[in-house]
Structure 1
Amino acid sequence: MLQVEGLSAGYDRMTVLRDVSLELQPGQLVLLLGPNGAGKTTLLSTVAGLVKPKGGSVSAGGTRIDGWAPERVARHGVRLVMQGHRVFPETTVEDNIRLGQINLPRGRRRPETEIFDEAFDVFGILGEKRKQPARDLSGGQQQMLALVQAWVARPDFMLCDEPSMGLALALVPEILTFLKRRTDDGMGVLLVEQSIDQPLRFADRVLVMRQGEIRFAEDRADVTGVEQLAQEMLGGAAVGPSASGPQ
């Protein structure tokens, strides 16, 4: 389980996150919604080790990882897919995929033929362009490549920061289906989005963040609809101090 308890974080003297708590179970897709400036990216960056926490704790598989360097967090099985199609543009598709295992000890790296077969079976268009530099891919294809690059390391948890941003609407279900299938394999996914409708269909649990705090937390089955979530994003009632449910 990935567990965040009482997390506070920010930049210099500015505090962005305030007493944030949540849980992500293996095989679960948790959708984290919120307006711009709510603290969603800061939360993912703090869990992944890019931002140092000011208080609270982060644990993965029962081990505290808050304060660890990003590469150590990644080796421990928590991978961040950052916003904005973050790939190496001058490097080929194949080499971008290879880089997904670079932080792993040699004994945990899988054969390249195996990871290529997996990647190109899921996203066939990447196989067609495997020898091309990533800069030649469309925005949607670069997002597919960024997701695959994180996935080939077989993480326990994947943190995805608005993977649908800037994509054609027709590509969004393909990205979301990929993530949902990873949960079927036992991986936990924390998915940050601003849009509601399509991601909601794939979520097991829904959180809404506003002003650095989790203000709403429900299983998807208990969410009455998009209108309810839109209201929560604009300023609904809080559900209590923790997003992990009853203590």
Structure 2
Amino acid sequence: MLRIRNLEAGYGRLRVLKNISMHVNPGEIVTIIGANGAGKTTLLSTIAGLIRATSGEISFQNQEITRLAASRIPRQGCVMVPEGRQVFASMTVEENLLLGGHSLGRAGRKELPALLDHQYGLFPILRDRRSQLAGTLSGGEQQMLAMARALMSRPSLVMMDEPSTGLAPLIVRDIFQVIVRLRQEGNTVLLVEQNAKAALAIADRGYVLETGKVILQGSAEDLLANKDVQRAYLGREKIQ
């Protein structure tokens, strides 16, 4: 579904991504782990068109999107749930969700009621809060809203940037259960996550980024068993 070849990108003269190649198959959960500053957010932002690649190629469903405008990429079926939620605080929950369906265009307006019902089924608390201003929600509720807003465009690939940041453990568990359910419903997920243990527990495969380079890749099971991954990201107590 997604193929990246020799991708490089950064900010001005600062090169952050260095010759990255990776892929995501339909129906997979693929996680990207790494320390702060490894380039994880830059990678998702480049795929989403928010940062321009300086070289390399990004293909989504066999169409090159490397230089597509960020506004066009969701229409191709690739959406991003940004780090820090970034909900529209002065708008209601339902208004945020309807904005998420904007990329469907006029032809998709008739689908909006069914899409709203589906998101409320995934996140029942949002139905209860539908008329509440998004800025008054808790952090966990805002994360659910950010995810539901992305899903309103009927994406094929959902990219999530650090969905567990700042959330209580019980909320994190609920968020990861929803990610698993998305895959069960036919979605494909590319997950950037600091909580490596939780991410690898639900992923099919993973990539480890370090200073803008892919230094390890493999099945989630293999990465969980890798002593270098355990030492760097899972804690020394995991090494046997």
> Normalization by structure 1: what TM-score?
0.90
Q: Mind listing any 5+ residue stretches in structure 2 that lack a counterpart?
A: 235-240
Closer, same or farther: CA 188–110 of 1 in aligned 2, 3 Å: farther
State the Cα deviation string for residues 150-189 of structure 1 (Å, max 9, x = none).
Answer: 0111111111100100011111111111112111222211
Q: Deviations over 1:121-152 (max 9, x none)?
A: 11111111110100111000000000000011
- C-alpha distance in 2, partners of 1:23/1:231? 26
Task: Give 1:171-210 correspondences, 5 Å limit.
Answer: 171-210=171-210
Residue 51 of structure 1 is matched in structure 2 by 51
Matched residue type, 2:11: Y
Distance in 2 between residues matched to 1:182 and 1:227, nearest whole Å: 30
Letter in 1 for 2:79: R
- Contact 1:29–1:204 (CA<8 Å) still a contact in 2? yes
The structure with the greater share of residues assigned to helix is 2
Secondary structure, counterpart of 2:195 in structure 1: coil
Aligned to 2:84: 84
Aligned counterpart, 1:6 = 6
CA contact (8 A) 2:9 2:16 kept: yes
| 1:228, distance to aligned residue in structure 2 (A) | 4.2
The 5 A counterparts of 1:218-233 are: 218-225=218-225, 228-231=228-231
CA-based RMSD: 1.6
Q: Which amino acid aligns with 2:158?
A: M
- 2:59 and 2:105 map into 1 onto residues whose CA distance is 21
User: Which residue of structure 1 aligns with residue 164 of structure 2?
Assistant: 164
- Distance in 2 between the 1:109 and 1:173 partners? 33
CA distance in 2, matches of 1:21, 1:102: 31
Residue 49 of structure 1 aligns to a residue whose secondary structure is: coil
Deviating beyond 6 angstroms after TM superposition, the runs of 4 or more aligned structure 1 residues are none
| 1:151 aligned onto 2:151 | yes
**1:7 Cα offset (Å):** 0.2
* Residues matched between the structures, number: 234
Distance in 2 between the 1:100 and 1:183 partners? 20
User: What whole-Å deviation, never above 9, does each CA across 1:15-68 have from its counterpart, x for those lacking one?
Assistant: 000010111111100010000100000000000000000100000010000011
Higher mean C-alpha displacement, 140-149 vs 151-160: 151-160
CA change 1:228–1:43 in 2 (3 A) is: same
Corresponding residue SS for 1:130: coil
Aligned equivalent of 2:60: 60
The 5-angstrom pairing of residues 23-172 of structure 1 reads 23-172=23-172
| Alpha-carbon distance, 1:105 to partner | 2.4
Report the TM-score when normalising by structure 2.
Answer: 0.93
Alignment-mate amino acid for residue 96 of structure 2: N
